[in-house]
A and B are shown apart, each in its own frame.
Chain A
Amino acid sequence: MEEMLFYDRMQFAFTVTFHYLFPQLTMGLSLLIVYFKWKFLKTHNEEYNDAAKFWMRIFALNFAMGVVTGIPMEFQFGTNWAKFSELTGGIIGQTLAMEGMFSFFLESSFLGLFLFGEKLLGHKLHFLTGFLVFLGSWMSGFLIIATHSWMQNPVGYEILANGKFVLNNFGALFTNPWLWPSYLHNQAASIVTSSFVVTGIGAFYILSKKNLAFGKMFVKTGVIFGLISSMIVAMPTGDLLAKNVVKHQPVTFAAMEGIFHTEEGGSEIVLIGQPDVQNKKLDNKIAVPNILSFLTYGNWDQEVKGLNEFPEENYPTNISGLYYGYHIMVGLGTIFIGMMFLALVQLFRKKLFETKWLLWAFMFAMPFPYIANTTGWYTAELGRQPWLVYNLMRTNAGASPTVSSGNTLFTFLGFIGLYLLLGMLFLILAGKIIRKGPHPQTH
């Protein structure tokens, strides 16, 4: 049983981690493509249209990867988490079925038109199809986060005598206090990823003196979108989300912040430190006093509950993973704001395109928003453990009763092999599109 649960969890974690690399770019990138196309309609400058078309190629490749790695996610609810599906399907099936009906059809119908229809449709309708693809991808994100939010903070349900969860308030699924901060946080973070990718590739073009005009356009656009979105990620959305965790999952918050014991007279904020779970302390700690109390409650002296206040069986199952996930996310997020701010200052001084070291930094920063988004997702998911539905259903109660660990190990290895292949193909093809650049002839 334990072994089976382990493989079920590993397989889900692995497939969802790989999957999420793609939609986090496409959701943000669809917005930037719509922006480029809109700029073209306004200015009639062909370069904006070429920019939109160039990013469309990257988008299409990412989208295809996102779709093929997304289908296993829906399947796994039934194949590996059958008990969970059986008991909660009447509720989370609702939002997942809505995702299929409302967003996937929208995206898939109009992506074809967007990719192949420019000549057939004319520029205005082509812009519209791009906008609909953007709308579909954001709606898809919304319905997934709605499902996720219900697992984090179940609402609108009742539990029958046979253990089944049934919906008794449809509207509650969308007014869930967990939903909106998570959604906006997630969407802003996906704009950060795409901004860094756009800026990074622009920087690559400037530094390699290829496609210079496009390089400058990408860096400028990326920096503006990147600064705004990375600030929104921290304030207000990140802040609201943290306050939600304090309110609904205080034990999770204690583990995230690495607070093993409640401190009287206000909690310090830990900047750096390694949790020693066995001895219940933080090693190598660098912390600033009282800041956490202020950030959490708006009061310098209010105490924040430590892990010692909760029964041990409700501790998150992976305290150090949760702590690191959270701190890596916050740390990287802070660096992103700093980089983008610096770049904007240089842009105003008209020196950004000559500031070589900063362009190099942007080029190498491209993987880091992916890491920040992934660790952010881990923070949410590890934070929910040991629960599948917070406070109501434990993770070990949700796995499929009839699938043996050998079968799951077999498919897990299959996914590893398949996704390694997919990852390699993706890098080769994305590299090819980027090398080719937005324009047949370079400027």
Chain B
Amino acid sequence: MEYFWYIILVAMLAVYVVLDGYDFGAGIIHLFFAKTEKDKKAITNAIGPFWDANEVWLIAAGGVLFFAFPTLYASSFSGFYLPLMMVLWLLIFRAIGLELRGQIHHPMWEAIWDKAFGIASLLLALFFGAALGNVVRGVNLGMVENGVATQEAHYFFLPLWNESFSPQAEHLGIIDWFTLMLGVIAVVALTIHGANWIIFKTNSELNTKLKDVVFKLNFVLFALVIASLLIWHIIEPQPFHNFIQYPFLWVLPAITFTGLFGLFKVKSFKKDGYGFLFSTLFLLGGLSSTVASIFPKLLPSTNEINPSLTVENVAAHEYGLSMGMAWFFVALVLVLIYMVVQYRVFKGKMDDVGYGEH
């Protein structure tokens, strides 16, 4: 039962990354490439009707985490206290940037909210990537110092960074060179993803330029992914043990690289949707490969005294989980129907959609 919820949780997070990912990416594009009012309009139009619902996947995934794996929820949310609060503030800034920008037509007002939207999108992408890095690297569960635990086995607390900036220091921080690297990967990947979405949804004058950006950034992404694979073993001595034990898991990295290679051909695609398809494959494959490499751990422990948090030792009780399954499926069918309705009504390229009234 808990494995079922594990798959649900990972799937929900993956959907969140793909969906909110493109509107974070749009924010980054907005920050660096939107020069004219027309460019900006094209970018915000491309995400306008969707971003709000995209963000709900994060809230819903948080809810499922809370209900199915309460111990993990409690441990990680209190342990990553400071970065999570910053994520909250950034989410707030980003949302009000988007919501309020169009309310008053004044150059200063618009400039402020444009920057809020762009910078918050960039930092959120960086933080989410670093968060994934933290999960892979593990934390000092139970706050063990000199072989003595000062907290219950699954509680910990991390500051934003430590002095040595190293993932192997005794006192870990959220940001070190390893987690920062994953953060940068996330920023690059989501910028590509966002650009592909804008190309897909608009006929903007930016589109030719964005294809160029995707093409160039893909080299950077490729180099970063290879580099992260090379240094991964510093964090985890046997990074491939799950893949060796269950060879069918190789399909996940295969998906990642299909996405990555596909993106190099972005300039010759016949349809504008293909780029988005490939960046989606990259994100889905990348996230699921990473998660699969630490399975069944959810949050590895960096000390030898306290055990890692695993799917089994953090799950809620059987009865609640099985009751949850019933309502979850009803809800999921409804959610899929809403999504179909939403994406059908706002289908096609976005320039012609009249959404003046706001």
Partner of B92, one of A68, A83, A93, A160: A68
B353 with A116: CB separation less than 8 A: yes
Partner of A85, one of B56, B77, B89, B92: B77
**What's the tally of chain B residues with a CB closer than 8 Å to chain A?**
67
In the complex, the number of residue pairs spanning A and B with C-beta atoms less than 8 Å apart equals: 219
Tell me the interface secondary structure of chain B in the complex. Answer: helix
Residue of A nearest to B358 (CB): A115
Quick check: is B248 within 8 A (CB to CB) of the other chain?
Answer: no
Quick check: is B151 within 8 A (CB to CB) of the other chain?
Answer: yes
Q: CA A305 – CA B77 in complex, angstroms?
A: 42
A89 with B67: CB separation less than 8 A: yes
Q: Which residues of A contact B353 (CB under 8 A)?
A: 116, 120
Interface residues of B in 215-271 (CB under 8 A from A): none
Residue of B nearest to A98 (CB): B327
Interface residues of B in 61-112 (CB under 8 A from A): 62-64, 66-68, 70-71, 73-79, 81-82, 84-85, 88-89, 91-92, 95-96, 99-100, 103-104
A55 to chain B, nearest CB (A): 13
Quick check: is B332 within 8 A (CB to CB) of the other chain?
Answer: yes
B73 with A78: CB separation less than 8 A: yes
B275 to chain A, nearest CB (A): 24
B299 to chain A, nearest CB (A): 13
A109 with B103: CB separation less than 8 A: no
A105 with B67: CB separation less than 8 A: no
B319 with A167: CB separation less than 8 A: yes
Interface residues of A in 374-430 (CB under 8 A from B): 400-404, 407, 411, 414, 418, 422, 425, 429
Quick check: is B1 within 8 A (CB to CB) of the other chain?
Answer: no
Q: CA A80 – CA B85 in complex, angstroms?
A: 11
A316 to chain B, nearest CB (A): 27
Q: CA A407 – CA B328 in complex, angstroms?
A: 36
Q: Which residues of B contact A82 (CB under 8 A)?
A: 74-75, 77-78, 155
Q: Mark A59-70, 1 if CB is under 8 A from B, else 0.
A: 011001001110
Partner of B74, one of A60, A86, A418: A86
Q: CA A67 – CA B334 in complex, angstroms?
A: 21
Quick check: is A210 within 8 A (CB to CB) of the other chain?
Answer: no
A71 with B91: CB separation less than 8 A: yes
B81 with A79: CB separation less than 8 A: yes
Q: CA A407 – CA B160 in complex, angstroms?
A: 11
Quick check: is A104 within 8 A (CB to CB) of the other chain?
Answer: yes
Interface residues of A in 105-131 (CB under 8 A from B): 105-106, 108-113, 115-121
Quick check: is A332 within 8 A (CB to CB) of the other chain?
Answer: no
Partner of B66, one of A72, A77, A422: A77
- Using known A-B contacts A116-B357, A164-B317, determine if residue A414 contacts B335 with beta carbons closer than 8 Å: no
**What's the tally of chain A residues with a CB closer than 8 Å to chain B?**
69
Q: CA A355 – CA B73 in complex, angstroms?
A: 57
Q: CA A267 – CA B92 in complex, angstroms?
A: 50
B35 to chain A, nearest CB (A): 26
Quick check: is A75 within 8 A (CB to CB) of the other chain?
Answer: yes
Quick check: is B143 within 8 A (CB to CB) of the other chain?
Answer: yes
Quick check: is A192 within 8 A (CB to CB) of the other chain?
Answer: no
Q: CA A432 – CA B151 in complex, angstroms?
A: 52
Quick check: is A170 within 8 A (CB to CB) of the other chain?
Answer: yes
Quick check: is A282 within 8 A (CB to CB) of the other chain?
Answer: no
Partner of B75, one of A86, A97, A102: A86
Q: CA A61 – CA B99 in complex, angstroms?
A: 8
A117 with B53: CB separation less than 8 A: no
Q: Which residues of A contact B357 (CB under 8 A)?
A: 53, 115-116, 118
A402 with B157: CB separation less than 8 A: yes
Q: CA A98 – CA B157 in complex, angstroms?
A: 29
Q: CA A411 – CA B104 in complex, angstroms?
A: 30
Quick check: is B305 within 8 A (CB to CB) of the other chain?
Answer: no
A402 with B320: CB separation less than 8 A: no
A93 with B77: CB separation less than 8 A: no
Q: Which residues of A contact B33 (CB under 8 A)?
A: none
Q: Which residues of B contact A164 (CB under 8 A)?
A: 317
- Using known A-B contacts A93-B316, A120-B345, determine if residue A411 contacts B85 with beta carbons closer than 8 Å: yes
Residue of A nearest to B69 (CB): A89
Quick check: is B355 within 8 A (CB to CB) of the other chain?
Answer: yes
A89 with B79: CB separation less than 8 A: no
Q: Mark A16-60, 1 if CB is under 8 A from B, else 0.
A: 000000000000000000000000000000000000010001001
B172 to chain A, nearest CB (A): 14
Q: CA A110 – CA B53 in complex, angstroms?
A: 9
Quick check: is B338 within 8 A (CB to CB) of the other chain?
Answer: yes
Interface residues of B in 302-358 (CB under 8 A from A): 316-317, 319-320, 323-324, 327-328, 331-332, 334-335, 338-339, 341-342, 345-346, 353-355, 357-358
Quick check: is B165 within 8 A (CB to CB) of the other chain?
Answer: no
Q: CA A211 – CA B356 in complex, angstroms?
A: 22
B67 with A75: CB separation less than 8 A: no
Quick check: is B273 within 8 A (CB to CB) of the other chain?
Answer: no
Residue of A nearest to B94 (CB): A68
Partner of A402, one of B64, B143, B332, B334: B143
Q: Which residues of B contact A98 (CB under 8 A)?
A: 63, 327, 331
Q: Mark B6-44, 1 if CB is under 8 A from A, else 0.
A: 000000000000000000000000000000000000000
Partner of B103, one of A90, A106, A118, A429: A429
Q: CA A148 – CA B168 in complex, angstroms?
A: 43
A164 to chain B, nearest CB (A): 7
- Using known A-B contacts A78-B77, A97-B324, determine if residue A168 contacts B319 with beta carbons closer than 8 Å: yes
| Pairs across A and B, CB under 8 Å, 7 listed | A82-B77, A85-B70, A89-B70, A93-B68, A105-B338, A113-B342, A116-B358
CB-CB nearest 10 A-B residue pairs: A89-B70, A78-B77, A93-B67, A97-B63, A90-B316, A100-B60, A101-B331, A86-B74, A100-B63, A82-B78
- In the complex, given contacts A93-B68, A115-B355, A170-B320, what are 9 additional A-B residue pairs having Cβ atoms less than 8 angstroms apart? A82-B77, A86-B70, A94-B323, A96-B66, A102-B327, A102-B331, A111-B52, A400-B74, A414-B89
